[in-house]
Amino acid sequence: MKHTAKAKTPGRRGASSALLVLAGMFFLAGMSRLGLGVAEVIAAENTPIAAETTTAAQVNPADPGDLFQSLRAREARLQQMEDNLTQRAQDLQQAEAEIRQQIEQLALAEQRLLQTVALTESSAEDDVARLTTVYEHMKPQQAAELFSQMDVQFAAGFFARLRPDFAGAVMAALDPVTAYAISAVMAGRNANTPRE
């Protein structure tokens, strides 16, 4: 009975040892496959980060410490890229705000300029209307002497504003050549205007 028990004990120990060795081999094989797979994924990427990643010769796939350090370095680079992109986005937002403010200032300046131009045109129109009234209060002969000294284009502009009866009297008092030139300018001003 004792002999039978002693014979069974070494067999159990051998089987247990074999199972432990086999389990250890499977464990090591799995770890090395895991290490190799992660290293291959890191090396296979076509990004600037992959180019900077430690080469397979420097990282021992079976050593979790090397793999961990490599992943930490990659994480640090990714964080740096993210920080750079965030800073760039903030810079773009600030530039956009500055451009928007400049556009608003330009719009205000344009509005002020348009108001100034309108005021200037209104003042000029008032001055021309006032001067036309002054000419109409002259005698036709006196007005004709003034108009004969003016540029033909300038004189034609005033003739277009004068009362028709007064304009006719001044035209009659002008030199015929000057009167013809002023009439030609007045007639030709709207010659190219499209008619419906």
Token pair belonging to 44? 């296979």
Q: Give the separation between CA 151 and CA 178, rounded to whole angstroms.
A: 10
Token pair belonging to 170? 């001044």
26 to 15, 62, 63, 185: CA distances (angstroms) = 16, 13, 16, 108
Predicted local confidence at residue 14, as pLDDT:
57
Predicted local confidence at residue 69, as pLDDT:
86
pLDDT band at 63 (very low <50, low <70, confident <90, very high): low
Cα dihedral 30→32→36→37 (10° resolution) = 10
Query: Looking at the predicted structure, is the pLDDT value of residue 157 above 80?
Result: yes
Predicted local confidence at residue 5, as pLDDT:
44
Q: Give the separation between CA 12 and CA 6, rounded to whole angstroms.
A: 11
Predicted local confidence at residue 46, as pLDDT:
45
Predicted local confidence at residue 129, as pLDDT:
87
pLDDT band at 180 (very low <50, low <70, confident <90, very high): very high
Residue 132 CA to its chain's centroid (Å) = 52
70 to 37, 57, 62, 180: CA distances (angstroms) = 14, 12, 13, 97
Task: Supply the mean pLDDT for the chain.
Answer: 77
Percent of the chain with pLDDT over 90: 36
Q: Which residue has the higher pLDDT, 56 or 106?
A: 106
Question: What are the residue ranges spanned by the domains of the chain?
Answer: 9-80, 138-196
Query: Looking at the predicted structure, is the pLDDT value of residue 39 above 90?
Result: no
pLDDT band at 43 (very low <50, low <70, confident <90, very high): low
Percent of the chain with pLDDT over 70: 64
pLDDT digits (tens, 9 = 90+) for 69-94: 888 889 999 999 999 999 999 999 99
Predicted local confidence at residue 175, as pLDDT:
92
pLDDT band at 51 (very low <50, low <70, confident <90, very high): very low
DSSP code per residue over 51-80? HHSPPTTTS-TT-HHHHHHHHHHHHHHHHH
Token pair belonging to 64? 């979790």
Cα dihedral 106→109→115→116 (10° resolution) = -130
125 to 11, 82, 118, 129, 132: CA distances (angstroms) = 123, 64, 10, 6, 10
